[in-house]
Chains A and B, each alone.
Chain A
Amino acid sequence: MAAASDLSGLGPKADRAFGLKLVAPAMILLIALLAVPTVLTVVYSLHDVPANGASFGPFVGIENYTIIFASPVFWRSAQVTATFAIGFVVLSTVIGLAMALLLNQRFIGRGLARALLIIPWATPWLVIGILWKWFADGSVGGLNAVLMMLGLISDYQPFLSDPNTALPITVLAAVWRQASFAGILLLAGLQTLPEELHEAAGLDGANVWQRFTNITLPWLKPVLITVTVFNVIYAFLQFDVVFAMTQGGPGDTTQVLSVLIYRQLFVNTNIGLGSALAVILGVVALVGGLAIVRLFYRREVQ
């Protein structure tokens, strides 16, 4: 650093000032687009905000949080969100990893297959939801046709109206997109893995599973952490797919917290309550993401 300062002919203070100027535009944008809304949401959550937004309204302290935590609607929604998140994170990561491993092999049409992997990721969440709503339709859906051809069902099933299948189907729809994202990142990670490592392990007598667990997975660890953290965040913030497919129904079967927040903020215009819910969900997503990072790195330290 000192050498660099000497070379530039400026002191450390001047370097810091120069650096600050470089990051200032990004900092201003981040503050305007992230920090201000975040602070405002927290402030709203402590007020009974009028729907028209003319003022913050009366300060109510933690009353909005008390109402939320005392409501069975919230706890049911939290349970649905947790179930959705677990399914989403596990399946997105595992299927993404499987796709990456497959597409890292040499086979005819690999280039096309890799290009196809991008299509779900390039499709907006809302469009995915609408596509899957029709795909899973109980009368004309392709999913039913496929399952019937495979002999897994004998009659068309109303998957989205059945409380036992609605949530799994919404998870599948969301995973369909997110797994491709995970696959793209993990494939990029795999391509940096030197082939010599596998060859050497093979010469030492390691089988496929041993090479996968002792070479591939450790190599992919930084990417896996990134992918998993992204998946956790996307899982908790998932809205579009669920809303397009079921609008939270049937009943409250798929009413994840983001749907509840949408209803409170934008339909009922209970800005204070909706903001408090958003703060809770934000904290949960943050803690979830941090927990994943901590979990992975703790193992690494051990």
Chain B
Amino acid sequence: MKTTNTTRGLGAFSRRSFLKAGGASALAATMMPGLMTGTAKAAYTGTLDLLAWDFQPDTIKSLVGEWTAAGNPAVNVAVIPNLGYTPALQTRLRGGDKIDLYYNFAYNSQKFINEGWATTLNGLPGVDDMIADMFESARSRHVNVAGDIISAPYFSAVHMLHYNQKYLADAGLAVPTTLKEIYDASKTLSSTTPAPYVAYWVKEFCEEYLHTYLLNEQITAFDDAGQPVFADDAKTVGVFEWWQAMYQEGLAPKSLLTDDPGKLSNEMAQGNAAFYVLHHYFLTSIRSLEGPQSANVNMAPAGPSTLQIGEVLQLGQSESEEERQAAWELMKYYGWKDSGGQFKVFNQWAKAAGLAAPYAGFFTDPEVVASFPDYYDLAMLSDTFATKSNVVPARTLPWYPDFQAKVGDIIHALLLGQATPAKTVEDLTAAAKGAQGGRTL
């Protein structure tokens, strides 16, 4: 097992230096496949614990079972509901549960490191190669400001505009990219499709849309130090004016504030909506519903930039070094490649639901390409990951979950007309600063 320890003692390097260095080593990694993943079997003879949320639990168990069957340690797989996963996970860890490897939301990752619930991956065999293999745009989700590697990918996605090609063609409209174009197109379409724009604007998801829309207008929300700077950009108020107008003018259904994404996919499939902004893989759900308009729904090229999201795997506290090494081997398999250098797990998720991995090689791997249905433009998707998406590094900072929890209330007040766009900017800035300052409601 070959070890590369380039991240040890990275404190003296900035993240920018590290990420640049990562890019260089990516090239090296592609030429030295042996570096990519550990090939030796773990010496650990005990049982590992994996905690996941309930997306296809049988597939999780099957994938992990295959890993064990290849001569690796047995794994206890525990699955809990996605809704309320963070509270359940935190409660278990706080109660002293030992979990070797677990799914986590990216916005929790640094907090979990700080609380001692997760460990950094620094110095583990092949970890630098894993980071180097990622799209540069994705790395700062997994590498913190100090250069510590805090997580591996579970899956990744980009926010994309899904649109009904037929509706646009019938109305003589081009595919919109800017917010203003979306507004104008929605206005035109509203004569035949009353509320043509849908998005998952429930409280918990408003924060993702905040970044998606700001990035679409090339607005930086947080600077490198994590300070909120969106208020400094004159275009920010315009984004909130657009958001409020879409809802208040009825271009988006009134029920969006509590609708779930499955229902929204169905609205697209049935032809009750013409635009749907959410993670790219919702195209799979719209198409698989086989509604009268499903086949006409496609993914539009991203604007200047969009939000790249990704949930992560984190390594828990292990009782021995052997156990930690074994858990890392499982993590590599689950969050990167198998011992044969294949994206085995990611490929399974691609087949199951169109989920992606934030690795450039993922989109060119023949098996992966074959796993995606033809209606996916993988070149466009890959390009979006590579050059047109941003993970918003502040989203992994330890105070961020507090801010994230407040965004929904503030955005809903805007949408309901209870706050002006200018007041929304003020409230969001105050929420970010309050979250950074410590205990607030």
Contact = CB atoms under 8 A, between A and B. Distances in A.
Interface of A: 48, 50-54, 64, 67-68, 71, 73-74, 133, 137-140, 158, 160-163, 166, 245-252, 255, 260, 262-270, 272-273
Contact of A272 (B94, B116, B439, B440): B439
B227 interface: no
A22 to B, nearest CB: 33
Contact of A273 (B115, B259, B418, B439): B439
Nearest to A63: B439
Contact of B441 (A48, A51, A73): A73
Nearest to A162: B254
B91 A255 contact: no
Q: Which 4 A-B pairs have the closest CB atoms?
A: A266-B87, A158-B255, A251-B412, A138-B255
B441 A161 contact: no
B258 A249 contact: yes
Contact of A267 (B115, B253, B401): B401
Nearest to B398: A51
22 contacts: A51-B115, A52-B115, A52-B117, A53-B95, A64-B439, A67-B439, A140-B263, A158-B254, A162-B254, A163-B416, A245-B258, A249-B257, A250-B416, A251-B413, A262-B87, A265-B87, A266-B90, A267-B86, A269-B90, A269-B111, A269-B115, A272-B439
Contacts of A64: 439
Contacts of B86: 266-267
B93 interface: yes
B378 interface: no
Given A52-B93, A52-B117, A246-B258, A138 B412 contact: no
B256 interface: yes
Interface stretch (B142-150, B157-165, B326-334, B402-410): B402-410
Contact of A160 (B95, B255, B439): B255
A274 B440 CA distance: 10
B87 A267 contact: yes
Given A260-B441, A272-B439, A273-B439, A161 B91 contact: no
Contact of A52 (B116, B203, B253): B116
Contacts of A248: 203, 409
A45 B263 CA distance: 41
B258 A161 contact: yes
B182 interface: no
A249 B203 contact: yes
Given A262-B87, A266-B91, A250 B258 contact: yes
B441 A67 contact: yes
Interface of B: 84, 86-87, 90-91, 93-95, 111, 115-117, 202-204, 253-259, 263, 267, 401-402, 405, 408-409, 412-413, 415-416, 418, 439-441
Contacts of A166: 258
Most buried by B among A68, A267, A272: A267
A250 B409 CA distance: 8
A252 B257 CA distance: 12
A222 to B, nearest CB: 39
Given A51-B115, A64-B439, A73-B441, A249 B408 contact: yes
B205 to A, nearest CB: 11
Contacts of A260: 441
A132 to B, nearest CB: 12
Nearest to A245: B258
B255 to A, nearest CB: 4
Given A52-B115, A52-B116, A267-B87, A247 B204 contact: yes
B122 to A, nearest CB: 20
Contacts of B409: 73, 248-249, 251-252, 255
Contacts of B257: 158, 160-161, 249-250
Nearest to B89: A266
Contacts of B253: 138-139, 158
Nearest to A277: B441
A102 B21 CA distance: 78
A161 B254 contact: yes
A139 B93 CA distance: 40
A140 B262 CA distance: 13
A166 B258 CA distance: 10
Nearest to A53: B94
A249 B441 contact: no
Contacts of A71: 440-441
